[in-house]
């Protein structure tokens, strides 16, 4: 038979163990509760920070919207004023400005395409004015095409073996709001130096200009020959 006192001791130990377990459980529950409370506080704090951030963003958006509105009003007033000065309604002015911008952009694109195409194609360098040089037994003739230039705008310089031609073409055409899409004619000052095959009589040189053509006649310098007798 089990001793009654021994049983009481066992029951006491069981009660003590159960009491300790209960305290541990209560302690753990308290810690969990504190953790949940801390998380709740952190969450509340984060929510407040988010609310403040949203509020600031809202204020920024409202400020930006106000600035955009003011700018739109200013542009509207400017458009109405310019339209009134030009005697057109705002819609006509807007359409005209769009078309003008489109034409300008189209011209720039065409020019860029032209430059790109030309850069890939080898080009022969053309010197102005264009010149022909002819030669006979006793004369050198230089013929130059100089269209659109008056005789007074042409200068000729001659040395024993060189001819220099300088011509002043008229300035670029004055056309308002226009730009070149192709430019081949000569403008401003142009200069050409031609080397001769032999020396010439500078003081006997002659030049004439007509029908846009300059003709320069240059007598060759022929040295006198001395006859030499041959001894036997």
- For the chain, the domain total comes to 2
Residue 103 lies in a domain: no
Helix/strand/coil for 11: helix
- 76 with 4, same domain? yes
Same domain, 70 and 149: no
Q: State which of 61, 87, 113 marks the end of a domain.
A: 87
Q: Under a CB-based contact definition with an 8 Å cutoff, are residues 79 and 90 in contact?
A: yes
3-state helix/strand/coil string of 60-129 = HHHHHHHHHHHHHHHHHHHHHHHHHHHCCCHHHHHHHHHHHHHHHHHHHHHHHHHHHHHHHCCCCCCCCC
Q: What CATH number has the domain bearing residue 189?
A: 2.60.40.790
Same structural domain, 214 and 143: yes
Distance between alpha carbon 211 and the CA centroid of its chain, in Å? 44
Residue 102 lies in a domain: no
Residues 7, 80 within the same domain: yes
The reply to whether 82 and 152 lie within a common domain is no
- Domain around 83: 1-87
List the structure tokens of 23: 């305290």
- pLDDT tens by residue, the chain, 232 residues: 556 677 777 777 787 777 777 777 878 887 887 778 777 788 888 888 888 888 888 888 888 888 888 887 887 777 777 767 767 676 776 777 787 677 667 766 766 665 555 544 444 444 578 899 999 999 999 999 988 888 898 999 999 899 999 998 877 677 788 887 887 776 778 889 999 999 999 999 999 999 889 999 999 987 656 677 888 7
DSSP 223: P
Report if residue 2 sits inside a domain.
Answer: yes
| Same structural domain, 78 and 142 | no
The β-bridge relationship of strands 154-158 and 213-219 is unpaired
Q: pTM of the prediction?
A: 0.42
Residue 105: inside a domain: no
196 inside domain: yes
Contact by Cβ (8 Å): 215, 208: yes
> Same domain for 5 and 68?
yes
Query: Are 79 and 136 part of one and the same domain?
Result: no
């Amino acid at each position: 038979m089990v001793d009654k006192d021994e049983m009481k001791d066992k029951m006491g130990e069981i009660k003590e163990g159960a009491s300790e377990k209960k305290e541990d459980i209560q302690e753990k529950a308290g810690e969990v509760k504190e953790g949940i409370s801390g998380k709740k506080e952190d969450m509340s704090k984060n929510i407040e920070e988010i609310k403040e951030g949203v509020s600031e963003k809202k204020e920024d958006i409202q400020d930006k919207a106000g600035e955009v509105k003011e700018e739109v009003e200013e542009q509207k007033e400017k458009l109405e004023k310019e339209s009134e000065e030009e005697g057109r309604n705002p819609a006509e002015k807007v359409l005209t400005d769009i078309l003008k911008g489109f034409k300008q952009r189209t011209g720039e694109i065409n020019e860029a395409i032209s430059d790109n195409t030309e850069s890939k194609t080898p080009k022969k360098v053309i010197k102005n004015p264009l010149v022909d040089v002819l030669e006979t037994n006793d004369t050198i003739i230089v013929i130059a095409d100089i269209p659109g230039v008056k005789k007074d705008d042409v200068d000729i310089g001659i040395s024993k073996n060189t001819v220099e031609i300088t011509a002043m073409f008229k300035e670029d055409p004055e056309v308002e709001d226009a730009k070149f899409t192709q430019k081949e004619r000569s403008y401003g000052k142009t200069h050409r130096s031609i080397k001769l095959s032999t020396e010439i009589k500078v003081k006997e040189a002659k030049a004439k200009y007509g029908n846009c053509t300059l003709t320069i006649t240059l007598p060759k310098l022929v040295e006198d020959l001395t006859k030499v007798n041959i001894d036997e």
